[in-house]
Chain A
């Protein structure tokens, strides 16, 4: 593994599903390199294969064909257990539907990845989990249950969870899909801060304004990449947040 090697390197990746007699390709031969420190937004209409691609990048799903190198290791040759370890140590995955455990406090949710990591003691785990929650601004809500948190807060718990094992890359599948504009921008603010610290971020979104927070935009259509371009007028989340009108909903209603 050398330094100039891309962090993520995908070649001719394809994924097909069998629908009865027909074979349906969700991804038709995708090749892509993502460097360390990148902040890439994968865009495309529904059914363009971007989520499937993301799941494969996150080692949650397997491609039918092609090759995938993550941080120098050939992902497709790893065993199930090695993949689990990879997900645990190198990847932080964020879902559209948050996917945090119900009836489990925020801090315990954040601790979860470390319970499957032998190198972290339970004391260290508690401290790290709390620090991760603090970095997403939820220190006071550490002991709240997901049902007591707003959508934006739940997504921030999920981000804290993805951060806690110090991953190489954060992969987010439509992280703002279920959130309002303000919460979305807040999430983007966190992402930009993390990216400035050197963490690679790959994000799937179908919202143009969200994609503008990334450094590069990758367009998907019909299971293929149609363009890969640097964002020209990159938005800065902290600036955008201050531009948002502060609206008290009760004033609007009266």
Chain B
């Protein structure tokens, strides 16, 4: 009953000052809308990065040869040829946290097909290479274990290679290409994978059996890297540890020796990107939060002006029996209504803006329930917080002083 009356009083005084209420609300509207839009953009880019990192295989582990030192000059990672197929075999035999392991040799080479030629990366790997890297065959077949045994001159090519050598509509399956003058039969084409998070074209690749590339093209016993996939995402760290100890034994390293190899996981890279996008989201949220606070100060400003301007009105209300508490609640309701209504309009506007950014800006946006709840709660809190002081000021007035105020 009482609160209904106070709501009625607050409603009547708000409706009499529509423009002022609207302008005050604008601060909150913009604050809430920007919080939602910024968080949606931040969240969207985070998920985008996560998705592209995940496409590389989140549980894959890579082993690279370590750096070599020649006369005091360190040559950088991968400069030292220490990895051999025996290392890969040892990992397969001893590490219980990995499912697939593939030794990798690679060389960038000139490729010729008919009157077309193209420069691309030729990778030699086992059949497991495909599953570790999440590669699927779009057309034709993958090479088999017997191709590996016989070092068959077959290969699977990426779409970029296919389009450059055989045209957009050409069918390369069954055709021959020459890599370093060695003819290879194309037996399959990879499904499109697009760019990875570094902007590299993942379709610009030729994959051939490990033994073929190692023996027929490179004639080397050393590997460029070993790829492995952990049993699950959670086991990546354990797999890394175990691989490290296996490799140390394999390379007969004493505790005094440094590792002559590097073990890295896709998760490490994912973490870096995750923290970058987290920082970005926090930054955006901070900017949006500041605008919310500015909006709140706007409410306080208007409410303070309103208290001064309406001192006589407060006096009249008190003279006819309003208690200090009634005046306090009236002003509180006014400021809370402004901020809550502003919050609701802000949420609608924020969703609309995020949607438009997603549609016309080509930026992925994800509106989360948390951001809506958060910004709404915050805007209401702002209303209560910044409405309190002016309301209390109004409530503490003496009726006669308020009535005499000019």
Contact = CB atoms under 8 A, between A and B. Distances in A.
B5 A116 contact: yes
A84 B316 contact: no
Nearest to B4: A122
Contacts of B313: 101
A81 interface: yes
Given A115-B5, A115-B9, A118-B1, A89 B321 contact: yes
Contact of B321 (A55, A101, A117, A122): A117
A101 B16 CA distance: 12
Contacts of A118: 1-2
Given A60-B403, A99-B403, A115-B9, A88 B325 contact: no
A95 B315 CA distance: 12
Given A60-B399, A61-B400, A101-B313, A93 B319 contact: yes
A219 B316 CA distance: 28
Contacts of A165: 321
Contacts of A101: 313, 316
B324 interface: yes
B248 interface: no
A190 interface: no
Interface in A59-116: 60-61, 80-81, 84-85, 87-89, 93, 95, 99-101, 103-104, 108, 112-113, 115-116
A121 B320 contact: no
B403 A81 contact: no
Contact of A84 (B9, B12, B321): B321
Contacts of B318: 60, 84, 87
A206 B324 CA distance: 33
Contacts of B322: 84, 88, 116
Interface string B3-31: 01110110010001000000000000000
B16 A103 contact: yes
B321 A88 contact: yes
Contacts of A88: 320-322
Interface string B297-337: 00000000000000011011111111111100000000000
A225 to B, nearest CB: 22
Given A60-B403, A99-B312, A99-B403, A87 B319 contact: yes
Chain B binding surface, main DSSP class: helix
A161 B319 CA distance: 11
B323 A85 contact: yes
A89 B322 CA distance: 11
A84 B323 contact: yes
B312 A113 contact: no
Contact of B320 (A80, A103, A116): A116
Highest count of chain A CB atoms <10 Å: which of B312, B316, B322: B316
B319 A81 contact: no
B5 A112 contact: no
Contact of A80 (B1, B319, B324): B324
B12 A108 contact: yes
A105 B316 CA distance: 15
A84 B315 CA distance: 12
A81 B12 CA distance: 24
A101 B392 CA distance: 21
Contacts of B6: 115
Contacts of A121: 1
Interface string A29-64: 000000000000000000000000001001011000
Contacts of B323: 80-81, 84-85, 116
Interface in B388-406: 398-400, 403
Given A85-B321, A108-B12, A121-B1, A116 B403 contact: no
B4 A81 contact: no
Nearest to A88: B321
A115 B16 contact: no
A113 B320 contact: yes
Contacts of B400: 55, 60-61
Nearest to A162: B320
Interface in B126-142: none
Interface in B146-182: none
Highest count of chain A CB atoms <10 Å: which of B12, B315, B319, B398: B319
A55 B325 CA distance: 22
Contacts of B317: 112, 116
A206 to B, nearest CB: 19
Interface of A: 55, 58, 60-61, 80-81, 84-85, 87-89, 93, 95, 99-101, 103-104, 108, 112-113, 115-118, 121-122, 161, 165
Given A55-B400, A104-B16, A112-B320, 19 more contacts: A60-B318, A60-B399, A60-B403, A61-B400, A80-B323, A81-B325, A84-B322, A88-B320, A89-B321, A99-B312, A99-B319, A99-B403, A101-B316, A103-B16, A115-B5, A115-B6, A116-B317, A116-B323, A118-B1
25 contacts: A55-B400, A58-B319, A60-B399, A60-B400, A61-B398, A61-B400, A80-B323, A81-B323, A84-B321, A87-B319, A87-B321, A88-B320, A93-B319, A99-B312, A99-B316, A100-B316, A101-B313, A101-B316, A103-B16, A112-B317, A115-B8, A116-B5, A116-B317, A116-B322, A118-B1
